[in-house]
Amino acid sequence: MSVAEDILLSAWVTGLLALTTTAVLLLVSPPLAWWIAQTRSRWRPLVEAFVALPLVLPPTVLGFYLLLALAPGGPFGAIAQALGGAPLAFTFTGLVIGSIIYSLPFVTGPLSAAYRTTDGQLLEAAASLGASPTTRFLRLVLPLHRKALVAAGVLGFAHTVGEFGIVLMIGGNIPGETRVLSIALFDRVEMLDYAGAHAIAALLLAFAVIVLTFTYRWLRT
Amino acid sequence: MRLKAQGELTRGPDFRLLADLDVDVDGVAALVGASGAGKSSLLRLISGFEPHATVTVEVDGERWQAADRTGSAVPAHRRAVGTVFQESRLFPHCTARGNLEFAGRSRRPGVKLAFDEVVHVLDLEPLLGQYPHELSGGQRQRVALGRTLLAPAKLWLFDEPMSALDPASRREIAPYLYDLCRRHAVPIVYVSHSLPEVLAIADQVWIASAGSVTAVDSLPAFSTALDHPLMSDDQAGAVIACRFKSFDARYGLSELVFADAPLFVPGDLSAVGGPILLHIPARDVSLSTTAIDQVSILNRVAGTVDAIVQDGEAALVRVGCGEQSLLARVTRRSVDELRLEPGTRVLALIKSVAVRTTAELGPQP
Amino acid sequence: MGGGQGRVMRPTPGHLVVAVVALVCGAASSAAPLRIAVASNFQHAFETVRTSLDAPADPTYGSTGLLYAQIMQGRTFDAFLSADRERPLKLVAQGRAFGPQVYARGSLVLLVNEDSPGPHWLTTDRRVALANPQTAPYGRAARQALDALGASPRLINGLNVAQAFHFAASGAANGAFVALAQVTAQGIAEKRYWLLPDRLHAPIEQVAVVMHGEREAEAQAWLAQLLGRDAQSLIGSAGYRVSGDVAGVDDSRD
C-alpha cells in the first residue's frame, strides 16, 4: 500500500466514522439535552456528569475502560456476541461506540445550553393547545433551536475527525477498518515519514479551518 | 361548568397565594380584581401550568390535580382548556398558518372550530403567510386568538388578552373578541380590569381578592362601592340600570328613565328587553349645586351626595339617585367651593356621548 | 566519579541542592544523574540493572520512535538505549551519537489467554495483537514469523509491544506477540506463552549509543558498565538474551 493509498483509506475511514458518529449523536443528543435542560429529577447532576466525563478525562482513560467493556468478557462485547455479532474491540462498530461516548458532550452540551434558553411561555402556550411533551419537543424546541443543532452536529463531526486517544486504545490500527487519519499521522511520525505526516496534518488542519469558518459564518446569518 | 381550585400556591420565597375558587361558569364570566389578586395564578392552576402546587383543581367534578398530590396531575396538554394569554406567545419559527395548524393536531376532547371558519371570522386570510415578527401587536393577538379556537377545548380562559396592546391595536381586536364572546361555543373566563369591557361581554362577574373569588350579584352596587379594586383605575364609573321609554328618530336618541329622570343616549335601544345597563365613567360626570338651564349637556339627574373619597389630586363623589348611585370625579377645589359633603343636594350632569350602552348582557341589578 | 561497587545512590536533599546548583550554573556536574533515553520494552530490565551501576541514571521511557523524534527536535540525552538498530545508527550517521553497541537481544513470544500456544494456535479466527510492524522491532519480527509460519490470524496493531500486551491482557485480543522480557517481568506462567524459535525472524538487536555532548565520557563509561558481565547477567534474567562478547554493531553485519 502506497503512502497516498494509506492516507486516502484512512481519510475514508475517518469520514465514515465521523458521519456515523454524528448521525447517531444527532438522534441521541437532542432528547438527552432536552431532558437535562428541563428535568427536575435528582439524577440530573449524575447524568450530566457522565455526559461531561470525556471533557475532563484523558481519552486514554475512556479508551482503557472501553477496551475492557468491548472485549468478549465485557458488557458491550457480551451483548454484541449474544446478538450473534463479533466482539466489538478493534472493529469499526467499536470505534463508533467509542466516538459516540467521546463526542457526546460536544453535541449534548451546546444543545442543552441552547435548550435551557427556551421561552417557557411558548412551551405553556403549546401545552395549552394540546401539544404533548413529545410534540412540544419535536415541533417547538427542535425547530426553535435548529441552528444550535447544526452547530452541535458540526462540532461533533469535527471533534470525531480529530479523535486520537480513544481510537489509539480500542482501534487496533487496522487499515480500512480502524486506522483513522490521526493514527495514520502518528504512524508516519513513528516511521520518520515526515512528508506523509505533513500531508495528513495539513489535511486535518485545512478541514478544521474550513468547517469552523463556514459554520461560524452560517451561524451569523 | 363547575371550577374549583383550592389550596396553597407558592412560587419562590416571595410568592404565596391561598387559592379559593369555587364557581359555576355559565356563558362568559368576567374575573376582575386588582393586580396581585391572583387572577392569572388561578387561571394557571386550571390550565395545568402549576402541576407541583398543593392545590386541588376540579373541573365538573373531575379531579385534575390534588392538593395532597395523590395521583399525578393531569398534564396541561390533556386538559381541555384553551388559553389566550396577555402576550400572543406565537411560535416565532412558524408563519401565522403554521401557528394555527399547530393547534389543530390535538386529539383531546372538546369543541374545536373549523380552520376556515376561524380564518374567516378573524379576518386572518391576509396574515397566513407572515411570520410573527412581521405582524403588528394587534394582528399577532388575533392570530393567537384564532390558534386557541382551533385547539379542542371545553373551557376558554382569556387572560387580559388586550392588556399588552396599544389603544389602536385594542380598537382593532376588540370587535373580534367581543363578537367571539357573544357567540361563545364553550364557557369563557375572561380576566379584565376594565369595567366597560366587563359590561360589554360578561354574563357573570367575579371578583378576585387575595386568591379567593366571589361572585358579584349586583354590578351597579359593585361599581359604586368605593373600595372596589377597579376604583382607582382611570375607568372608575358607575354601572346603572335604566328602563327604555321611547326613541326619537329625529335626533337618533333613545330616551331612558333613570331615577325618575330622563336620560338620552344615542341609538335605537327599543329592541332591548328588560333593564339596560349603562356604564357612566366618573370623569364624565360633573356636579352642580344649582339648577342650570343653558348647557349642552342633556342629561341631568338630581341626587344627594352620600360619600366623598380622595382620589389622587381629585375626589370621587358618590351621588345617591333613588336606589342607585352615580360616581363623579371632581377637583378637590370644587369640593371645597361647592361645599360638598354627605347630604348635599346636587345635580349630576352626564355628557350623553359618554354613555356606553351594553347589549342585553349583564347581571340583573 | 568512581564510587565503590554496589554503591546505591538515592536522591537526598543534598543531591537536590547540587542538582539545582548545577542547573543554575549551567555547568555539568558529576553529581547530576545521566539522562538516558530508554525504549519502553527495556523499562523493567533497566529498573533492575540501574542500581548496580556506578553512575546514577535518570531514565526517560518512551517508544523508540518518539524518543528519536525528541532527540531530533533537540532534547538532550547522554545516552540512548533503543529498541532497534536503525535509529541509533541514524543518529551515528548524523554525527549526533557514537559507539553503537548491542546491549540486549530481544526474544519474541506469543502470549495467549489460554494454555499451550504454538504454531497451530495461530488460526484465522483468532485476533492477535502485535506491535506496529512498520515502526516497532518486535512487530517486525512478529510479522516475519507469521510469514515464515504461513499463518494469518486477524492482526491487531498496537503502537508497541506494551500496547500489544495490553490488548491481550484486557481480553480484547486472544493473544499477542510480545517480548519475553514483558512476560518475565509480569511473572506469567510458561504454559501461557510460546517462545518463538530464532529461525522464524531476524534477530531483535537493541542498540545503545552515546550521545555527543559535554558528558559523553561519563556516558561512555556508564554504557561500558551496562555491557559488563554483572549488568548483562541481570539483563539476561530479565528476559533478554545476551552473548558473551557484546560486539559492536556496524551496518555490514546485516
pLDDT value at C244 more than 50: no
pLDDT of residue C101: 92
Closest chain C CA to residue A87: C172
Q: Would you mind telling me the total number of residues written for chain A in this entry?
A: 221
Of the pLDDT bands very low, low, confident and very high (cuts 50, 70, 90), residue A153 is very high
Spatial separation of the C-alpha atoms in residues B353 and C134, rounded to whole Å? 100
- Report the range of poorest mean pLDDT among B200-204, B319-323, C151-155: B200-204
Lowest mean pLDDT among A87-96, B64-73, B356-365, C139-148: B356-365
The pLDDT assigned to C214 comes to 92
**Same domain for B88 and B15:** yes
> Looking at the structure, do residues C186 and C61 belong to the same domain, yes or no?
no
DSSP conformational letter for C133? T
Using a CB–CB cutoff of 8 Å, tell me whether A89 touches chain C: yes
Residues C83 and C125 in one domain: no
For helices A3-38 and A44-56, angle between their N-to-C axes, nearest 10 degrees: 160
C-alpha cell at C231: 549488568
The reported pLDDT for the residue numbered A206 is 93
pLDDT-derived band at C4, boundaries 50, 70, 90: very low
Say whether pLDDT at A138 is over 90: yes
Instruction: Pick B119 or B215 by higher pLDDT.
Output: B119
Compute the distance between CA of residue B153 and CA of residue B186 in angstroms, rounded to an integer: 8
Q: Any idea which of A25-29, A71-75, A180-184, B328-332 has the lowest mean pLDDT?
A: A71-75
Q: In this predicted complex, what is the ipTM?
A: 0.84
> Is residue B362's pLDDT more than 70?
no
Percent of chain C with pLDDT over 70: 83
Residue A124 and residue B76: Cβ atoms within 8 Å?
yes
Total domains in the fold of chain B = 2
Cβ neighbours around B345 below 10 Å, total = 10
A140 to B91: CB separation less than 8 angstroms, yes or no: yes
- Give the C-alpha distances (Å, rounded to integers) separating A79 from B95, B327, C164: 47, 82, 24
Answer whether residue B223 is part of any domain.
no
Is the whole-model pTM more than 0.80?
no
In this structure, is residue C33 part of a structural domain? Answer: yes
Strand B276-281 relative to strand B356-357, pairing: antiparallel
Could you give the number of structural domains in chain C? 2
| CB hemisphere CA count around A157 (13 angstroms) | 19
Q: Does any domain span residue C248?
A: no
Chain A contact present for B49, CB below 8 A:
yes
- State the cell numbers at A77: 462485547
Is the pLDDT at A199 greater than 70? The verdict is yes
Q: Are C114 and C188 part of one and the same domain?
A: yes
Q: What share of chain A is helix, strand, coil (3-state, %, to 5)?
A: 80, 0, 20
CATH of the domain at C35: 3.40.190.10
Task: Indicate if B37 and B132 belong to the same structural domain.
Answer: yes
Touching, C vs B (3+ Cβ pairs under 8 A): no
**Are B63 and B186 in the same domain?**
yes
Instruction: For residue C212, give the C-alpha cell.
Output: 555527543
C14 located within any domain:
no
Q: Are residues C120 and C172 in the same domain?
A: yes
Same domain, C136 and C69: no
A180 at interface of C, judged by CB pairs closer than 8 A: no
> To which residue does cell 537536590 refer?
C16
A157 touches C: beta carbon within 8 Å: no
Backbone angles phi, psi at B218, to 5 degrees: -135, 115
**CATH code of the domain covering residue B63:** 3.40.50.300
Query: Quick one: pLDDT band at residue B359, thresholds 50, 70, 90?
Result: very low
Tell me whether residues A172 and C69 touch, CB distance under 8 A: no
Q: Residue C247 — very low, low, confident or very high, per pLDDT cuts 50/70/90?
A: very low
Residue A81 reports pLDDT greater than 90: no
Q: With an 8 Å Cβ cutoff, are B49 and A126 in contact?
A: no
Percent helix, percent strand, percent coil in chain B, to nearest 5: 25, 35, 40
- Statement to judge: residues C187 and C149 lie in one domain: yes
In a domain, B221, yes or no: no
> Please, which pLDDT band fits residue B197 given cuts at 50, 70 and 90?
confident
Q: Are residues B244 and B205 in the same domain?
A: no
Residues A117-127 have pLDDT tens digits of 999 999 999 99
Instruction: Confirm or reject contact between A106 and chain C (CB < 8 A).
Output: no
> What residues make up the domain containing B341?
237-357
Mean pLDDT of all residues in B25-39: 85
- Alpha-carbon span C122 to C174, nearest angstrom: 10
Whether residues B278 and B167 fall in one domain: no
Angstrom CA distances, C252 to A34, C200, C242, C248, stand at: 69, 21, 20, 11
Q: Say yes or no: C55 and C45 in one domain.
A: yes
Task: Note whether C45 and C165 are same-domain residues.
Answer: no
Query: Which pLDDT belongs to residue B353?
Result: 53
Tell me whether residue B224 is in a domain: no
Tell whether C132 and C102 lie within a shared domain. no
CATH number, domain with residue B256: 2.40.50.100
Closest residue, chain A, to C155 (C-alpha): A174
Percent of chain A with pLDDT over 70: 100
User: Between B76 and B204, where is the model more confident?
Assistant: B76
A135 CB neighbours in chain B (<8 A) are 77, 105
User: What average pLDDT does this structure show over B67-92?
Assistant: 91
Of B184, B216, B248, the one marking the end of a domain is B216
A191 touches chain C (CB under 8 A): yes
Assign C132 a pLDDT band (cuts: 50, 70, 90).
confident
Per CB-CB distance under 8 Å, the chain B contacts of A122 are: 89, 91
CATH code, domain with A132: 1.10.3720.10
CA distance A100 to C153: 29
In eight-state DSSP terms, residue A139 is I
Q: What nine digits make up the cell of C37? A: 533515553
CA–CA dist C120, C112 (Å, integer): 13
The residue among A116, A131, C41 whose CA lies nearest residue B79 is: A131
Average pLDDT over residues C163-190: 91
pLDDT cut 90: percent of chain B above it: 29
Tell me the per-residue pLDDT of B259-309, one tens digit each, with 9 for 90 and over: 888 888 888 888 776 778 888 888 889 898 887 776 767 788 999 999 998
Residues B281 and B200 in one domain: no
Nearest to B342 by CA among B315, B313, B312, B311: B315
Which pLDDT score, from 0 to 100, does residue C116 have? 78
The contacts of residue B163 (CB under 8 Å, 6+ apart) are: B86, B193
| Residue range C19-68, pLDDT digits in tens | 444 444 444 445 689 999 999 889 989 999 998 998 899 999 988 888 99
Q: Are residues B166 and B249 in the same domain?
A: no
Indicate whether B321 and B209 sit together in one domain. Answer: no
Report yes or no on B365 lying in a domain.
no
Q: Confidence class of residue C248 from pLDDT cuts 50, 70 and 90?
A: very low
Chain C interface includes A1 (CB < 8 A): no
Same domain, C157 and C230: no
Quote the crossing angle between the two packed helices A59-70 and A75-82, to the nearest 10°: 40
Query: In chain C, which residues have their Cβ closer than 8 Å to the Cβ of A72?
Result: 171-172
Residue B213 has pLDDT above 50, yes or no: yes
The boundaries of the domain holding residue C79 are 28-106+203-242
Mean pLDDT lowest among B153-167, B197-211, B253-267, C129-143: B197-211
Pairing of strands B28-32, B54-59: unpaired
Residue B189, H or E segment:
strand B188-191
Mean of pLDDT values over C167-190: 91
- Nearest-Cα distance to chain C for A9, in Å, is 16
Q: What would the mean pLDDT of C156-174 be, rounded to a whole number?
A: 90
pLDDT above 90 (res B211): no
Query: Is the domain of B26 the same as that of B127?
Result: yes
Is the residue at B187 inside a domain?
yes
Assess if residue B49 is contained within a domain. yes
Number of domains in chain A: 1
- Dihedral of CA A145/A150/A153/A155: which sign? negative
Q: Of C63, C135, C157, which is closest to A172 when you measure between CB atoms? A: C157
The answer on pLDDT for A182 being more than 80 is yes
C14 pLDDT higher than 70: no
pLDDT at B222: 79
Q: Are residues C80 and C190 in the same domain?
A: no
Q: What is the mean pLDDT of residues B81-97?
A: 94
pLDDT above 70 for C243: no
Domain encompassing residue A100:
3-220
Which pLDDT score is estimated for C253? Answer: 38
The pLDDT mean for chain C works out to 84
pLDDT, tens digit, 9 for 90 and up, residues C96-117: 999 999 999 999 999 998 877 8
- DSSP secondary structure string for all residues of C44-75: HHHHHHGGGSSS-EEEEEE-HHHHHHHHHTT-
Residues C149 and C136 in one domain: yes
* SS3 assignment, position B212: strand
